Amino acid sequence: HLPYFSLSNAFARPGLTPRYSHYVKSVNNSPESRPAILKVAVNVPLSRAFDYLPPAGCPAPQPGCRVRVPFGARRQVGVVLGHADASDLAPGRIRRCSEVLDDEPLLRPADLGLIRFTSDYYHHPIGEVVAAALPALLRQGKPLHPVVETVFATALAASMDAEALATRAPKQAELLETLRDAGGNGMEADELTALLPNWRRAATGLFAKGLIERGEARAADFDESLVPAGTPGPELNKEQQAACDRLRDSKGFAAFLIEGVTGSGKTEVYLRHMQDVIETGRQVLVLVPEIGLTPQLVSRLRKRLGIEPALLHSGLTDTQRLAAWRAARAGAARLVVGTRSAIFTPLQNAGLIIVDEEHDPSFKQQEGLRYSARDLAIVRAKRLDIPVVLGTATPTLEMIQHCRAGKYQHLVLPHRAGGARPPHIRLIDTGRTPATDGISEPLAAAIRRHLEAGGQTLIFLNRRGFAPTLICSGCGHVAGCERCDSRLTVHARRQQLRCHHCGHVRPLDERCSECGEAVRPLGEGTERLEDALRARFSGRRITRVDSDSMQRKGAMSDALDEAREGSADILVGTQMLSKGHHFPQLSLVGIVNADQGLFGTDFRSAERMAQSIVQVAGRAGRADRAGEVLIQTAFPDHPFWSTLIDGGYQRVAAEALAERETTRWPPFTRLALLRSAAHRHADAHAFLELARRAVEARADDSLRVLGPVDAPMARRAGRYRAQLLLQSANRGALHDALRELRPLLEQDPAARRVRWSIDVDPIELF
């Protein structure tokens, strides 16, 4: 039993699902007539708001204010969603808030409206949606403008001889130097932690010597004027100008898909329009897949617009993140750039939302609140009556279909800007010319040719580690994960076997655990490719880019700088290398082992594979060099290849869309996936059986229920996993079913034995 079940403010009646929209209606802003019962969202996995009274003698805080409330035996931070004049609870049982945390609403009605929509659409508890929308410090109940610990160098430090300290205590010297450079106000403790993770140890000695002191200060505000004035961009070509004109002529809500081959100047088009919007005094929100991977976009925005963007991503300290959030909310930041969760950032005066690389799967959160930031961007723009611009070279079929249906406007940039030519794509048949350690002779020859001509090469393989499999040469036994139905990946640099699904790590076996014979790595990952390339091209500079090699903070931007300046001859890496980077020297892209997606079981396999190939191919020949793309495949006759090579992404997309229409997959139907995981196989299935029966008892035949079946990886991290798919051509029918289902599942005793989730518009089915 969840502990707060019996202790909390009672429950909604079974089957009664709260619809948050009705709270809005009951809000009344005139203080005299304000009803006294507060509907509060609390961060717990229950699909309802909770009733509280204001603290004794306090007026009711407005919707959007945070309150501290007793919840079970604990205290929790909650957000007031609205007021009501009646409660299901007996008057004496309604508890009081212990504290009102905000004088004015943190979240305004429009922000609360988006949160409610998200909760309703994704069938996710409102309290958890509110929590996802708030920066960590606010979630914890800290003030909007917190006072933070600071550390600064004292006057004594100014006159001291740093050289002597450097030899005796280098860590102390480093810290002191940093603080002396920071000046009189010193630095925030968080910021120091990000810079020198173990500074507190070094600080002890410096405090004792009176060289540094601790203080407190209001956390620094975001300052957008840190950069020089913007610089003008190139003159737009005809197609870019046409796209800009369409954007400028739109009024109110409109969704635009800018489909342009890589290098066609999409970013230039956004930049122009952003500039226009910012000049009218309105804010622009830009969503990007991963800021760490795209530092180039951020620096380009900064340089061109002459505005320091307020950044919202996981690489910041909590205080910095809050400062950016505060500036966005107050309207002090004109340009807000963030990853997925930035879609919830309050904006004082929003004028435009941009979603860059719309096709990128990282816009969809795959755990907890499973939302698509791309889809919410469209919803939010509509609610605010402003335009939203989605850009990509490889649009998702969902967006293409919306354009065909006339709901979104399709702006196409078919040519590369500035005269760069499209890359030439060719296949290498690994049946005829086998690959050794991942590299075939024709690919090796091409690399040599491009290197000699002064060009850079990128070798793409979406598999990190040394080899995906460790096999016994005696009995054929394959090293597997004890907790998952998966193989362990060989990581040679660290002499480890690792499970990429549950994180399990163990030392690399030297002998087979079954028969004692020698083992060998089978297949290749990026580490092995790196070694093979070093052996073949000794003397050349080779940089590997994957999540293993890029763990150090700043490693990615260093690697990108190197790549851009041309000081790396060969780049080898995973999809981290394919995202929006611009490498002027790059002339050859080699795609190794491209076959993983050809026979994929997911209905999105072809779409995904074409996206990933076209994205990485687009890195070749972006400036004045013609690009060449070589793809190694064991199945050169597979029709996918001729479609892609002759017709490009657009033909692959058109064919896939036609097939989806015939087979009734999205975007022609809507899906929701129920997942469950349990220590016992039977529990995982029994829970979904229950869900299936509940849905079938009420649904009409517009709703198809498929399963429950084992998940493709039936056991992961020690839990058995199962799934149930709901499908309908009618979005309303699907959502009605989920709306009825969710509270039933929350209250069913079987739910206590499983972890379960609802995934609306899932992007991974298998």
Size of the site for ligand ADP (CB under 6 A): 16
260 lies in the binding site for ligand ADP (CB under 6 A):
yes
* Cβ(519)–Cβ(471) below 8 Å: yes
Tokens of 279: 């000049």
Rule CB under 6 A: is residue 585 a binding residue for ligand ADP?
Answer: no
* Binding window for ligand ADP (CB under 6 A); candidates: 39-47, 207-215, 233-241, 510-518: 233-241
Is residue 422 a contact point for ligand ADP (CB under 6 A)? Answer: no
Residue 415 interacting with ligand ADP (CB under 6 A): no
Min separation Cβ 489 and Zn ion, Å: 10
> Sign of the CA dihedral 706, 711, 714, 720?
negative
742 counts as binding Zn ion under rule CB under 5 A: no
Q: What's the CA gap between 666 and 540, in Å, rounded?
A: 47
Report the first-to-last Cα separation within the chain, whole angstroms.
31
Of 579-638, binders to Zn ion (CB under 5 A) are: none
* Cα-only R_g, the chain: 28
Which of 75, 483, 536, 651 forms a contact with Zn ion (CB under 5 A)? 483
Phi, psi (5° rounding) for residue 371? Answer: -110, 160
Query: Rounded to whole angstroms, how far apart are CA atoms 544 and 458?
Result: 10
Return d(Cα 327, Cα 304) in angstroms, integer: 21
What is the C-alpha separation between 759 and 747, in angstroms, rounded? Answer: 19
Q: Least distance from C-beta 717 to Zn ion, angstroms?
A: 6
295 binds ligand ADP (CB under 6 A): no
Asked if residue 418 binds ligand ADP (CB under 6 A), the reply is yes
State the residue for tokens 């060989």.
Answer: 490
Asked if 501 touches Zn ion (CB under 5 A), the answer is: yes
Among residues 54, 64, 265, 621, which is the contact residue for ligand ADP, using CB under 6 A?
265
CA-to-CA separations, 102 to 99, 142, 160, 346, 468, in angstroms, rounded: 9, 10, 45, 16, 52
Regarding 78 and contact with ligand ADP (CB under 6 A), the answer is no
CB 267, CB 300: distance < 8 Å: yes
Told to check if 627 binds ligand ADP by CB under 6 A, we report no
Number of helices followed by number of strands (H, E) in the chain: 23, 32
Task: Assess 423 for contact with ligand ADP (CB under 6 A).
Answer: no
Among candidate residues 716, 720, 706, 718, the one with its CA nearest the CA of residue 765: 706
User: Which residue, 313 or 463, has its beta carbon nearer to Zn ion?
Assistant: 463
- Calculate helix-pair angle for 397-404, 639-663, nearest 10 degrees: 60
Region at 125 (left for phi over 0; alpha for psi -120 to 50; beta for the rest): beta
Q: How far apart are CA 577 and CA 706, in angstroms?
A: 38
Q: At its nearest, how many Å lie between ligand ADP and the CB of residue 260?
A: 5
Which partner, Zn ion, ligand ADP, none, binds residue 200 by CB below 5 to 8 Å per kind?
none
Interface with ligand ADP, residue 268, by CB under 6 A: yes
Plot region of 207 (φ>0 → left; ψ -120 to 50 → alpha; else → beta): alpha
Among 502, 645, 694, 744, binds Zn ion (CB under 5 A): 502
Q: How many residues bind Zn ion (CB under 5 A)?
A: 7
- Measured in whole angstroms, how far is the alpha carbon of residue 466 from the centre of its chain? 26
Of 215-223, 261-269, 360-368, 748-756, the window that binds ligand ADP (rule: CB under 6 A) is 261-269
Q: Which stretch binds ligand ADP (CB under 6 A): 88-96, 132-140, 236-244, 367-375?
A: 236-244
Q: Which is nearer to ligand ADP, 79 or 617 (CB)?
A: 617
- Of 43, 150, 178, 262, the one binding ligand ADP (CB under 6 A) is 262
Rule CB under 6 A: is residue 621 a binding residue for ligand ADP?
no
User: In this chain, which stretch among 368-376, 469-477, 498-506, 750-758 interacts with Zn ion, using CB under 5 A?
Assistant: 498-506
How far, in Å, CA of 480 to CA of 469, rounded?
A: 9
Q: Which residues of this protein are in contact with ligand ADP, per CB under 6 A?
A: 234-237, 240, 260, 262-268, 417-418, 582
Q: Which residues of this protein are in contact with Zn ion, per CB under 5 A?
A: 481, 483-484, 499, 501-502, 504
